[in-house]
Chains A and B, each alone.
Chain A
Amino acid sequence: MAHFLDRVETALRDEHLRDAMLAATRDLASRRVNALANLENADMIRDLARQAKMTMLRDLAGNLETFERNLKRNGIHVHWARDGKEANRIVIEIAKAAKCKRAVKSKSMATEETHLNHALIDAGLDVLETDLGEYIVQLADTTPSHIILPIIHMTRGDIGQIVHEKISVPYTDDPEKLTKIARAKLREAFLSADLGISGCNFGVIDTGTICLVSNEGNARLCTTLPRVHVAVMGIEKLVPSLAEFDWMIKILARSATGQKITTYTSVISGPRRAGDHDGPEEMHVVLLDNGRVNILGGEIAEILGCIRCGACLNACPVYRNIGGHAYGDTYPGPIGAIVTPGLRGMKDWKELPDASSLCGACRDVCPVRLDIPRMLLKLRQTGVEEGRAPASIKWMMKGFGIVVSRPWLYRLSARWGGRVARLLASRGWIHKLPGLGGGWTRSRDMRAPAAKSFQQLWKERKRA
C-alpha cells in the first residue's frame, strides 16, 4: 500500500475532491451547530453521555458478561471474536449451518474492519450492501471515505456514471431517480435474502438489546425479512440501560447530520417470537475485539467511548483537505488517526497522529467530549518512545532540549542561527529552505530573523 504521505499528495492534487469535501463537510458542520443549539440541556446531556461511556469502560469485562447473559436470556446466540478473521469465520459458519445463500448487509464499520464482504464472497455467498452509499461503494469496488456518508467524495455525476455502467440503466445524475433505481434493485434482494448482517450502534447491557440507527430503512429490512440475523459489534459499544441509550440518541444524529433523530431507530431484543409475523427466526451477536482490548489498556482508552457520529471528521481541516481515503484504513479523520494506530499498531501507522495541527476543532464538536488532541499527543509520544521517529528529527529535538534549557546557549544559537538564516534571505525573506525547512518554503516564504532580538531592543530601550 502507498505510503501515507503519497496518498495525501494524491488527494491534494484532486481539486474536484477537495471542493466536494469542503462543501459537504461545511454543510454538515453547520447543520450540527443548529441542531445542538436547539437541544435543551445539550451540554449536560453530553457530559452525562461521556460519563456513562467512561464508567462502562472501567469494567468492560464485567459489563460484557452481563450483556452476554441478557442476550442469551433473550434467545440471542453470542459469539466472541479475537480478530477480523475469526469474526468472518463465525459469520460464515452461521450462514452455512443455517443454509443461507444470499446475504443483505446494512452499513457497519465493524464489518468494514474485518473485510467481511470479501470473506463471504470467497465462501460462496452472495452479499449485497444495502445502504445506498455503501451499495455504490460496492458497485465501484472502492472503500467508504466517511463513516456516515460513505461516498461524500463523489459528485452526483460520478455516481450516475457508476450506476449506469454497473447495472446497465440509462445514465442519470438525478439523486431522486438514482434512489428509485436503487430501491427497486435492492428490494428484490431483500425479498430473496436469507441472511441479514448488521452492525450495532449501541448494546444495552441490562435489557440485552441491540440498537441500530439508519435513515434509509435498510437496517430495518435486514433485521426483518431474512431468516437469520447476525449483528457484528465492537465490544465497546455498550451502554448500561435504556436511560443512557436515550442520551446517546439525543446527541448522535444531531452531531452526525443535524437531524434530531435518525429516521429509524430499531431496538431489538431477540428473534421472532410466537405469533410474530416477521423478524428473523435466528439471531446472533458477534462480539469483536480486533485490537480493542489493547486500546483499553493504555493512554488512548478514552477513544473507545466514540459513538461514531462523524462530527470530528466534518470539523477537521485536515480531513476536509485530504478526504477519507488518504487515512488508508476503515476509520478516517481524527477518529482514524487514533483508532487505526490503536487497532493496528504504531509500526505502520505512525504518520497518522502526526498529521494534525492540533487545532482542537474535533474535541469541541465531539458529543462525548473525547480529548482527541490529547490522544494524538500521547500517540506521538509513544511513537518517539518506541524509537520510531526519524533520526533527523530525533537529533533536532535532542538539540532543542539541550539548547533551550540553557539560556546562554539559547542566546548564542539564536544569534548565530539568525545570522545564517539572514544569509539565505533576500530583502528579509527566505524563499527556499534546505532540509526539513523545505516543507515550509514549499507553499510559503519565511521571514528572516530580525537583526536585533527583542531582548536586545528591550535593553536599549531601558538604557535610553
Chain B
Amino acid sequence: MSSSRTDILTRLRQSQLRAVLPEPAQGLPDGIAPKKLDPTALLERLQAEFKLLGVETYVENSEEAVRQRVKGLITQKSILSWDANQLPYDAGQCLEGEKVYFGHDSKNDQATAEIGLTSCEAVLAETGSQAMISGPGKPRTASLLPYTHVVVIRRSSIVFGMGEFLQNFKSRELLPYLVFITGPSRTADIALVIALGVHGPGKIIAVIGP
C-alpha cells in the first residue's frame, strides 16, 4: 500500500511540472468580505429563507413563550431529544411527562421517535441553514431520524452566511462534527418533482427565541 502512495506521489511530482494550467488571474481579492447585517435584518432574511424552504417558523419574545410553543409541538408524541441541558431557554422542561429517547438509547428505539428536538450552534440567514454541532448530549440522530424536527434557535445565534460562521474555527484546531441543514430532506430524482422526507425529516419547525 505504501508503494502505491510513493508511486502516486512520485508520478504526480513529474506530472505537475508538465501541467498546463491557466496563469493566475491578476487583481483578484483575497476573499469575500464578511457581511454584517443588523439583528432585525438578519431575522427578516432568515424568516424569508425559512419560508422559501417550507420551514414552519415561530418567533417568540419570551423564554416562557418558547417553552409553551415547544410543549405544544411535542406533547403526546414520542420524542428523540438532545439532553435537556443542551436546549436553550430551559426548553428541556418541556420533556417532562413525555415519551423521550436520548442519544444513549439504542438506534432502533431512537428510530421510532416521531419528533426530534434539538437546538443548533448557529443559523445562517443567507440560506436558512442550521449549523449543527454534535457531541455529548447532542446526538446527530435527533435531527436526522424522526420525520419531524423541532429546532430551538437562539436569536443571538443568527449570522449572515457560512463564511461568517466558519470564521469561528481556526484552521489547525480539531473541528467538531458539523452539518449544515437547510430545510427538509428532499429529492427531485423522480421526474424533477420535489418530494420531501426521503431519508431525513420531511418537516422542520423552527422556534426562534428572544
A interface, CB within 8 angstroms of B: 20, 24, 27-28, 41, 44-45, 47-48, 50-51, 54-55, 57-61, 64-65, 73-74, 79-82, 86, 90, 130-133, 136, 149-152, 154-156, 159, 175-176, 178-180, 182-183, 186-187, 190-191, 206-207, 209, 215-218, 220-221, 224-225, 235, 241-243, 245-247, 249-250, 257, 259-270, 273, 275-279, 287, 289, 293-294, 296-302, 371
Contact = CB atoms under 8 A, between A and B. Distances in A.
Contacts of B191: 20, 24, 154-156, 159, 175
Contacts of B180: 261, 264-265, 267
A263 B201 CA distance: 11
B111 A261 contact: no
Interface stretch (B56-64, B65-73, B170-178): B170-178
B166 A245 contact: yes
16 contacts: A51-B28, A54-B21, A151-B190, A180-B197, A183-B198, A186-B199, A207-B172, A220-B200, A246-B32, A246-B162, A264-B185, A278-B134, A278-B139, A296-B15, A301-B19, A301-B21
Given A191-B108, A263-B185, A216 B199 contact: yes
Pairs of residues from A and B, 4 with the lowest C-beta to C-beta distance, nearest first:
A217-B200, A277-B103, A297-B15, A275-B136
Contact of A57 (B11, B21, B183): B21
Contacts, number: 262
B99 interface: no
Contacts of B129: 261, 265
Contacts of A187: 111, 199
Overall SS of chain B's interface: loop
A380 B195 CA distance: 43
Given A132-B189, A296-B12, 11 more contacts: A50-B25, A51-B24, A149-B188, A215-B185, A221-B200, A225-B141, A260-B182, A269-B176, A278-B107, A278-B139, A298-B15
Contacts of A47: 25, 28
The residue in A47, A131, A175, A217 that gathers the most chain B C-beta atoms within 10 A of its C-beta is A217
Contacts of B7: 82
A220 B32 contact: no
A44 B108 contact: no
B12 A64 contact: yes
A55 B108 CA distance: 47
Given A149-B189, A220-B140, A261 B182 contact: yes
A217 to B, nearest CB: 3
B144 A217 contact: yes
A260 to B, nearest CB: 5
A188 to B, nearest CB: 10
A218 B199 contact: yes
B22 interface: yes
A20 B171 CA distance: 45
Interface string B9-25: 10111111111111011
Contacts of A209: 175
B118 to A, nearest CB: 12
B40 interface: no
Interface in B20-36: 20-22, 24-25, 28-29, 31-32
B87 to A, nearest CB: 16
B192 A191 contact: no
A278 B105 CA distance: 11
Contact of A207 (B5, B127, B163, B175): B175
B39 interface: no
Nearest to A48: B28
Contacts of B14: 297
A20 B13 CA distance: 45
A382 to B, nearest CB: 12
B142 to A, nearest CB: 9
Given A264-B200, A266-B179, A289-B8, A277 B139 contact: yes
A242 B8 contact: no
A130 B49 CA distance: 28
A287 B1 CA distance: 11
B184 interface: yes
B19 A156 contact: no
A386 B182 CA distance: 50
A57 B179 contact: no
